Structure 1
Amino acid sequence: MSITRRDFLNGVLRASGAAMAGAAGLPSTAAEASLAYPPAATGLQGQTDAARAPLHALRDGQHGAPGTPREHYDLVVVGAGISGLAAAFLYRQQAGRRVRMLIVDPLDDFGGHAKRNEFTTPDGRLLIGYGGSQSLDSPSQWSPAAHQLLKDVGVDLAQFEHWYDKDWAARRGLTGHAILFNAAHWGREQLLVRHEGSKAADWVDATPLPAKAREDLRELIDAPRDYLAGLSREEKRARLARTSYDDFLAAICGYDRALTRYFANRTRGYFGVGTDATTALDAWAGGLPGFGGMDLGDEMPPELSPSGRQAFKGSDPYIYHFPDGNAGVARALVRALVPSALPGHGMESLVGARCDYARLDRVGADVRLRLRTSAVSVRHIGDPAAAKAVAVTCRSREGDEYTVSAGQVVLACWSRVIPHLTDELPAAQVSALRDQVKVPLLYANVLLRNWEAFARGGFSAISNPGGFWDEASLDFPVSTDRYRFASLPSDPVLVHLARVMVEGGGASERAQCEAGRARLERLGFNEIEHEIRALLQGALGPFGFEHERDIHGITVNRWAHGYAYEYMRPWDAYWPDGPLPIHTARMGWGRIAIANSDAGAFAYVHSAIDQATRAVSELLPQARLARWNTSPGPS
């Protein structure tokens, strides 16, 4: 069975916000006990209040004051996400000499939002989940640079063919997809299971949708018409490129508005915004229903967003997944940079080896990776055009502030942070950097005692239209030689839940991200835990699940600044013809280059690597680097 990214867009859970009294709380401060080993920390993780405090102070005008440098490095990298780690690796590889470098990051762990979550069951079994960046997507569309870097750090894509069990769910009878309608949103609570290959007519009448909406949904899925009959293909595509999927359903198809509520969060996980702000053209590329009778052709429309283009061109099987998601890539880079902290060779050790965090920042080491530390000022020592070094002022989580000097600097932090770090940039570049917002995300992993309720229900995923969560499902069925995914229903398992914190209403994605980030920052662990328990009890309770008995651990990963923003119609009229803001935003100056996923406006690991490659090429003109992609998404 071939599983694609589009399957996940259309088949993952959309979780619940049903009210539930009396949920037993798990401690939100469990992270304190696991400070020495961040992957095992539970409770609220990711971009915590403590991690964000130095940058928020910087935003609010509390700038760092450069002092006398106390150390010198050949390179300082600001940001230990995949782009920053990749830049450090490539710089050392291409420098042609021994170099000393410092990498700083405000988070408790390396990898940015490529985050590893670990759980230990009462009987001592280790379960590994992903707390952020999910999978390596569509490697057939990558640049040579992305392929080369992964090869150089020991990531063998062919290994995933053996690790990922494509038929795991089918062999266990988990071929259904549960849909939970909550009473608060739909008037009554209703749980139904839609089976693979079924027609809408088989299950739509069991939903609490209004009668006309049920009739419309049956037609939309089972017998879609040509809703723009009389227009040419080009005219149809142009119309869809300026129409949201919501308006396509209501205004073009003439369907009941209740369908827009039913589909509202379907596109969030892939496009970073709901169907109110995703074009019908992107929805078509993403596999949403309604376009089968419209004869839109096989040629890729240029107006598609970068992710829309990637989906249209045909995603590879969606199997390139470490048990900890793309944290596996971050670990491969750290193993190459600081081998004493993460020993081993080959793919297997990337999964099972325990990182020794005490070895990441050792005095005298060529590469020092310093966590819980923010750069608060980056300025050339003298005129940027002639300077021999850059002063980088850092502030630790504990408040210690100091300055180091660097021969060169890579800024692999968020683009919006950069204007707060330096006053050396022209106004046009500052404006372009501030244009790049981040999509706020919430990812949770829940350790269940077993998955017997899923087995009784015959499904591995749950939707909850209109609910709090966008996505939830049993974790990816990935097993290595020594790390084994669940096999029997009595085995413990992780359930993954995701929410893109945008609120809908038809505003631009940038506006929705700003509002959603503010809401996310107000949410406490107890509120999020309540939503987790409400969903799982509502969907699995009829099959014997009891949340107080069956939940053994919860880790919530908060990414107020999550995925990079992607250009999309109708909000970005300059897409795709340009000029694109990123081309101005990512321009290096003096001894400083910019590498981050924002600089590519494309929220994927391969784009982060491309931007790291470009940044290193700017600092080391003699470098012999593989070709990288210069524009967002495939062309």
Structure 2
Amino acid sequence: MARQITRRDFLDGMLVAAAGMASSTWAGPAQAAAPYPPALTGLRGQTQSSFQTLHALRDGTFWETAGTPEATNETYDLVVVGAGISGLAAAFLYRQQAGPKARVLLLETSDDFGGHARRNEFTARNGAKIIGYAGSQSLQTPSYFSPAVHKLLRDIAVDLDKFETYYDQDWTRRHKLGPAAFFSAEQFGADRLVKITERAADWVPETPLNEKARHDLIELIDRPRDYLSGKSRPEKLEILSRTTYARFLTDICAYDPQLVTYFQDSTEGILGVGADAIAALDAWGDGEPGFEGMDLGDAPHKMMSASARRAFTDLDPYIFHFPDGNAGIARALLRAMIPDAIPGRGMESLVVTRARYGRLDTPGRDVRLRLDAPVVKVAHHGAEAATVTYVDKGKLRTVEAGHVVLACWHRVIPYLCPEIAPAQIDALNDQQKVPLVVANVLIRDWRSLARLGIRGFKSPGAFWHGATLDFPVSMGRYRFARTPADPVLLSLFKVPLGGKGEDPRTQSLAGRRLLMQLTFEEMEHQIRDLLGRALSGGGFDPARDIEAITVNRWAHGYAREYKRPWDSFWPDGPLPIETARKGWGRIAIANADSGAYPYAHCAIDQAARAVRDLLGHSPKLPAFADFPGPPRDRIGLD
């Protein structure tokens, strides 16, 4: 662990681009004059520099030294605050409906576009180009997408049917790889990696769980009882809606507390909270064990969270994944509006074509995207226009807009807009984001996993929730690893939470504060320690095998879903988002927060609604309660 590893140099928040990413083997000319954001390693995502201005607004200190804004004399039909998927979709849909001559400016706080849907790029030691996803992972269950989402995907040349061939659905079976769990000495008394098979009785005895916990886990998975025997089905569902999964395991099932430790992290990557805060009803919908013998019915219950309901009725294989995750959607939207920023045609060229960041903000173009430009104020300027004030290289500047779409987080909006009424501010502040960390680790080969016969592992109770090989997706000239000797990415995840047993909002807030105190070096150490211990049986050596690390920190990550037992208004309403997302005058709101769904299709739906609010003729969308539920943009390790 103390030895030097071969990797790119990186500093916490002050990063150096990999020179290898300028290779001519990728489409598009090299741009040596400025950093290329996807190739930056170390700490990425939401960094201190991207928070600086907005935190000053929050703390009430910004305007003390801001100075007088300078007018740029720029006027646009639409200014979009935020260039994530929802902001990009709103810009695209607005131009479709207002006409191709509509002038649009997107202002983005950070140094890259896509919001959570960004890409990480690496150059392996053997020269191979490797792409990973930095946050938003996949499109799940397109069968449930609204007509507006399907139309937009078609219009930006995303053909979902092609993922049937892009995604190698036989890759794991062909390489004889399966799931595993790593039990750490800190949590369970001994380091042990155990391969998981269908029957718990075949693998649980190999774990370092205590004797009662092993017996209980086998029963829970292989022979679950009716733990609420004597209760009617409605009574059971009501009890499960107000009982956490942790208390279900200990208080209702009378199982050993070690089972709570084992399952604590299992729902965090999908539902944003762990076993101590998720309703047992949602755990059932998400597929956690223990409910098969309880006669609960074969349909999702209305009190399940939207994600749990969606998981319960999942129709499609989980294959709708670009090599860079939903950054592929963001790049397709950008190409449709600024073609020379990502030249080429078709989905396959999206993967290997370098984005030309120097072309995003070209004077005279109808669509411009301005990075490192945090917005600090949005207010009407008469009845027919609004003024948008933003920071550019330390100076305050203003632009005029006929319409504005706020595609930033809900909790930011009250600091930007002095015109909002108190009731709407309260509703906007209800959206406490779920923090998330996604790490991509480039390893020189995956021989160690092949020797162990695993695709990845979960690590209950550890700093990281586990590690898994990236998705086996090949598109055009971009090819996924074919043999164990090929370099590949390992993906690691963490949902930092605090205040165990508290409500989800409190846990997310505490987790965000903990996350912001962590340095890249601390997270890197945890990566090397976990991989070195868990994969030691396969011969993995962190110093030799790790080539590069990118940690994507999303302190403000997932949009928070409504859940029992904490949200008594769910599902019947009224819902806070109904008040929070209301536009006024020339201003509309579009983001995943507006739907309380942390998923790409929700971001697109809300963009369509916002454009409809402004222009009045976008496609009619179903009401919130009419959606079967959001897709699980899952980062699970099973």
Which category describes the TM-score, using the shorter chain as reference length? over 0.9
Please point out which of 180, 190, 193 is paired with 2:192: 190
Is 1:625 paired with 2:619?
Answer: yes
Residue by residue over 1:537-577, the C-alpha shift from the partner in whole angstroms, topping out at 9 and shown as x without a partner, is 11111211111011011011000000100000011100000
Distance 2:355 2:534 in 1: 37
The answer for the alignment partner of 1:206 in structure 2 is: 206
Residue by residue over 1:350-385, the C-alpha shift from the partner in whole angstroms, topping out at 9 and shown as x without a partner, is 111111000000111111101111100001113xxx
Instruction: Indicate how the Cα distance of structure 1 residues 173 and 438 shifts in structure 2: closer, same or farther if over 3 A, else same.
Output: same
Q: Helix, strand or coil: the match of 2:43?
A: strand
Q: Helix, strand or coil: the match of 1:584?
A: helix
Q: How far 1:504 sits from its partner (Å)?
A: 5.5
The answer for the alignment partner of 2:40 in structure 1 is: 41
AA of the residue aligned to 2:114: G
Distance 2:407 2:77 in 1: 16
Q: Helix, strand or coil: the match of 1:618?
A: helix
Is 1:568 paired with 2:567?
Answer: no
Q: Helix, strand or coil: the match of 1:535?
A: helix
Distance 2:499 2:274 in 1: 6
The answer for the alignment partner of 2:385 in structure 1 is: 389
Which is further off, 587-596 or 625-634? 625-634
Instruction: Indicate how the Cα distance of structure 1 residues 476 and 151 shifts in structure 2: closer, same or farther if over 3 A, else same.
Output: same
Please point out which of 458, 475, 481 is paired with 1:480: 475
Q: How far 1:23 sits from its partner (Å)?
A: 6.7
The answer for the alignment partner of 2:409 in structure 1 is: 414
Q: Helix, strand or coil: the match of 2:196?
A: strand
Instruction: Indicate how the Cα distance of structure 1 residues 573 and 594 shifts in structure 2: closer, same or farther if over 3 A, else same.
Output: same
* Matches for 1:429-448 after TM superposition, within 5 Å: 429-448=424-443
AA of the residue aligned to 1:226: D
**Alpha carbons 1:472, 1:496 under 8 Å: kept:** yes
Distance 1:100 1:24 in 2: 49
Structure with more contact order per residue of length (Cα contacts < 8 Å, sep ≥ 6): 1
Residue by residue over 1:243-284, the C-alpha shift from the partner in whole angstroms, topping out at 9 and shown as x without a partner, is 000000000001111110111100001100001001100000
Is 1:335 paired with 2:329?
Answer: no
User: What are the ranges of 5 or more consecutive residues in structure 1 without an aligned counterpart?
Assistant: 1-19
Distance 1:85 1:287 in 2: 34
Q: Helix, strand or coil: the match of 1:135?
A: coil
**Alpha carbons 2:6, 2:546 under 8 Å: kept:** no
Distance 1:457 1:503 in 2: 34
* Matches for 1:447-466 after TM superposition, within 5 Å: 447-466=442-461
**Alpha carbons 1:447, 1:554 under 8 Å: kept:** yes
The answer for the alignment partner of 2:545 in structure 1 is: 550
Distance 1:411 1:547 in 2: 44
Is 1:581 paired with 2:576?
Answer: yes
The answer for the alignment partner of 2:124 in structure 1 is: 121
**Alpha carbons 1:87, 1:595 under 8 Å: kept:** yes
The answer for the alignment partner of 2:154 in structure 1 is: 151
Q: How far 1:22 sits from its partner (Å)?
A: 5.4
Distance 1:107 1:616 in 2: 24
* Matches for 1:374-385 after TM superposition, within 5 Å: 374-382=374-382
Residue by residue over 1:128-157, the C-alpha shift from the partner in whole angstroms, topping out at 9 and shown as x without a partner, is 100100000111111111111111101100
**Alpha carbons 1:564, 1:602 under 8 Å: kept:** yes
Residue by residue over 1:152-209, the C-alpha shift from the partner in whole angstroms, topping out at 9 and shown as x without a partner, is 101100010010011101111113x2221111122222222223x3x11112122121
The answer for the alignment partner of 2:79 in structure 1 is: 76
User: What are the ranges of 5 or more consecutive residues in structure 2 without an aligned counterpart?
Assistant: 19-33, 630-638
Q: How many residues align?
A: 607
Q: How far 1:33 sits from its partner (Å)?
A: 3.4
Q: How far 1:626 sits from its partner (Å)?
A: 5.4
Q: How far 1:326 sits from its partner (Å)?
A: 0.2
The answer for the alignment partner of 2:399 in structure 1 is: 404
Instruction: Indicate how the Cα distance of structure 1 residues 236 and 285 shifts in structure 2: closer, same or farther if over 3 A, else same.
Output: same
**Alpha carbons 1:438, 1:565 under 8 Å: kept:** yes
* Matches for 1:519-534 after TM superposition, within 5 Å: 519-534=514-529
Distance 2:94 2:599 in 1: 21
The answer for the alignment partner of 1:5 in structure 2 is: none
Q: Helix, strand or coil: the match of 1:110?
A: coil
Q: How far 1:54 sits from its partner (Å)?
A: 1.0
Residue by residue over 1:318-370, the C-alpha shift from the partner in whole angstroms, topping out at 9 and shown as x without a partner, is 00000000000000000001001101111111111111000000111111101
Q: Helix, strand or coil: the match of 1:349?
A: helix
AA of the residue aligned to 1:134: Q
AA of the residue aligned to 2:493: A
What TM-score do you get using the length of structure 1 for normalisation? Answer: 0.93
**Alpha carbons 1:249, 1:259 under 8 Å: kept:** yes
**Alpha carbons 1:137, 1:316 under 8 Å: kept:** yes
Q: Helix, strand or coil: the match of 2:209?
A: coil
**Alpha carbons 1:83, 1:612 under 8 Å: kept:** yes
Q: How far 1:627 sits from its partner (Å)?
A: 3.2
Q: Helix, strand or coil: the match of 2:554?
A: strand
Which is further off, 69-78 or 211-220? 69-78
Q: Helix, strand or coil: the match of 1:373?
A: coil
Distance 2:78 2:551 in 1: 34
The answer for the alignment partner of 1:321 in structure 2 is: 321
Deviation beyond 3 Å, 4+ runs, structure 1: 20-27, 32-35, 63-69, 626-633
Distance 2:188 2:298 in 1: 38
AA of the residue aligned to 1:170: R
**Alpha carbons 1:449, 1:552 under 8 Å: kept:** yes
Q: How far 1:32 sits from its partner (Å)?
A: 3.3
The answer for the alignment partner of 2:10 in structure 1 is: 28
Residue by residue over 1:432-477, the C-alpha shift from the partner in whole angstroms, topping out at 9 and shown as x without a partner, is 0011111101000011100000000000111111101124200000
**Alpha carbons 1:610, 1:629 under 8 Å: kept:** no
Instruction: Indicate how the Cα distance of structure 1 residues 174 and 208 shifts in structure 2: closer, same or farther if over 3 A, else same.
Output: same
AA of the residue aligned to 1:86: A
Q: How far 1:624 sits from its partner (Å)?
A: 4.2
Distance 2:374 2:597 in 1: 24
**Alpha carbons 1:204, 1:218 under 8 Å: kept:** yes
Q: How far 1:50 sits from its partner (Å)?
A: 0.6
Distance 1:104 1:51 in 2: 13
Instruction: Indicate how the Cα distance of structure 1 residues 32 and 481 shifts in structure 2: closer, same or farther if over 3 A, else same.
Output: closer
Q: How far 1:503 sits from its partner (Å)?
A: 3.1
**Alpha carbons 2:17, 2:41 under 8 Å: kept:** no
The answer for the alignment partner of 2:357 in structure 1 is: 357
Distance 2:274 2:618 in 1: 42
Q: How far 1:628 sits from its partner (Å)?
A: 4.9
AA of the residue aligned to 1:157: L
**Alpha carbons 1:43, 1:555 under 8 Å: kept:** yes
Q: How far 1:632 sits from its partner (Å)?
A: 8.2
**Alpha carbons 1:44, 1:557 under 8 Å: kept:** yes
Distance 2:37 2:147 in 1: 33
Q: How far 1:96 sits from its partner (Å)?
A: 3.0
Q: How far 1:124 sits from its partner (Å)?
A: 1.8
* Matches for 1:157-168 after TM superposition, within 5 Å: 157-168=160-171
**Alpha carbons 2:3, 2:543 under 8 Å: kept:** no
AA of the residue aligned to 1:479: S
Distance 2:409 2:196 in 1: 41
Identity score, percent: 57
**Alpha carbons 1:143, 1:629 under 8 Å: kept:** no
Distance 1:630 1:278 in 2: 22
AA of the residue aligned to 1:36: P
Distance 1:97 1:48 in 2: 35
**Alpha carbons 1:415, 1:436 under 8 Å: kept:** yes
AA of the residue aligned to 1:48: T
Q: Helix, strand or coil: the match of 2:15?
A: helix
Q: How far 1:617 sits from its partner (Å)?
A: 0.3
Distance 1:168 1:626 in 2: 41
**Alpha carbons 1:23, 1:530 under 8 Å: kept:** no
Distance 1:475 1:380 in 2: 46
**Alpha carbons 2:442, 2:490 under 8 Å: kept:** yes
Distance 1:515 1:23 in 2: 34
